[in-house]
Amino acid sequence: MVVLLCQADCKGTDGHDHGPHTADHHHHLHHGDDEPHPQHEGQHSNTLSKPNTDFAFALYKKLSAIPEFQEKNIFFSPLSISMALSMLALGAKGETFSQLYEALGYAEMPTESVNEACQLIIDMLGVTQKYMQIDISNALVVTERAQITDTFLEDTKKYHSSEAFSVDFSKPDEVVQEINNYIAQKTNNKITDMINEVDPKTLVILINCIYFWGEWFCQFYERLTEKDDFHVDDQNKVTVDMMLDVNYYDFYEDKENFVTVVRLPYEGSADMIVVLPDQGKMKEVEGSISQTLFRQWEQSLANSYLHLYMPKFSIVGTYSLEETLQEMGMVNVFSCSADLSGMTEEEVVLSQVKHKAILSVDEKGTEAAASTVGLMCGSSGCEPEEVIVKVNRPFLVFITESKTKSMLFMGKISNPTSQ
């Protein structure tokens, strides 16, 4: 995710004096991986699980209600977006801060608890696992004339392990290249063209990247993959590479809510949850889905012997979230009422919030990446019953991580052949 903040063109506002620190003093201030992380004794790794999941479903419902997305694929990383906005909140004050925390679901939580939970999520997800990789990266990009407070620099480093570097926004082509190179590096070259231009008035850019790669616990056999139909709707179908695995999976049929749910575990601490609505019931499922219902499905899953048919696919989701976030209550930060005096003494407003996510699923596993940019500016002894689950119509997909109970990615696959 990329968040752009620009200098506000607001008459009659006063500056703030909060101990600014010029960008010259922290040019390419990278915080290396060799720096020790603080201990998290007594903290819980899932402190933000509920608010972050609530935010994920609220954002999904906003996006799925936009006409242009109603029949299209939707894919994004709610964790990337919430982490970027949490980093922004470190510099917000007054009503601007309150609106950010309210929309994120943090309003009733102490600020220190939120910040420490963000720190813990980054630290825990960053632990290397043999068959799985999750990387979260944060960066602060500032103009050389920006006056960033020492406190904001220290807090973004402490709680978000952020890197900081200064650029010359009067040379936009160079800035675009540097930012895109950074994001490409952090997403294993999955996202290489996050932004194509920047406003010369931009003062600060916040970047969050998340990269996921995982091998299936039960891999699909390539020799069983065959061409098959995927029914986009009642009238249209497309041809896909349909994978097949015959194995034990956690499975649940919720007939009351018109869905079949399957958990596909990765080697490591992550899972893919596939929610397959009954034919023609996607809109009903989208209208009723919530964190509570999702958790009920997870708790109801039972090990079953499945013939699981799953399409191979690669999709991309690209979003400008300014209007959507305002609809969710983040109003002041986009206006001349913005109070980001905890970040800089300059009068700045949030001008753009860009998010891009990519998902690739094949026989071996899954690769997914997202970037948010904010510009300111087991079996039994008896013969098992065989159940056939064929994912050949629009479905919802979630990638979750069990240690932190984080929802890393979520989306809707309406057409696996459509980018």
Question: Of the ranges 19-28, 61-70, 217-226, 278-287, which one carries the lowest mean pLDDT score?
Answer: 19-28
Displacement of CA 131 from its chain's centroid (Å): 21
DSSP string, 144-174: TT-EEEHHHHHHHHHHH--EEEEE-TTSHHH
Helix (H, G, I), strand (E, B) or coil at 410: strand
The residues, any chain, with a CB within 8 Å of residue 271's CB and separated by 6 or more, are 263, 264, 265, 399, 400, 402
User: 343, 350, 339, 337: which is closest to 18 by C-alpha?
Assistant: 343
∠ at Cα 153 (167, 120), nearest 5°?
120
Taking each helix axis from N to C end, the angle separating 49-65 and 78-89, rounded to the nearest 10 degrees, works out to 110
Q: Express as a percent the part of the chain with pLDDT over 90.
A: 75
Strand partners, 206: 3, 374
The residues, any chain, with a CB within 8 Å of residue 226's CB and separated by 6 or more, are 241, 242, 244
**Region for 19 from its dihedrals, namely left if φ exceeds 0, alpha if ψ lies in -120 to 50, beta otherwise:** left
So what's the pLDDT on residue 32? 38
So what's the pLDDT on residue 28? 33
Statement: 2-9+17-31+43-377+380-411 belongs to CATH 3.30.497.10 = yes
85 or 40: which leads in pLDDT: 85
Mind listing the pLDDT tens digit for each residue in 102-145?
Answer: 999 999 999 999 999 999 999 999 877 888 999 999 999 988 77
Taking each helix axis from N to C end, the angle separating 78-89 and 111-125, rounded to the nearest 10 degrees, works out to 140
Mean pLDDT (whole number) for 349-372: 94
Strand partners, 374: 3, 353
User: 396, 331, 357, 323: which is closest to 81 by C-alpha?
Assistant: 357
The residues, any chain, with a CB within 8 Å of residue 128's CB and separated by 6 or more, are none
Going by their DSSP bridges, the two strands 406-413 and 259-265 should be labelled as unpaired
User: 206, 202, 207: which is closest to 168 by C-alpha?
Assistant: 202
CB 220 within 8 A of CB 264: no
So what's the pLDDT on residue 42? 37
311 or 377: which leads in pLDDT: 311
So what's the pLDDT on residue 169? 87
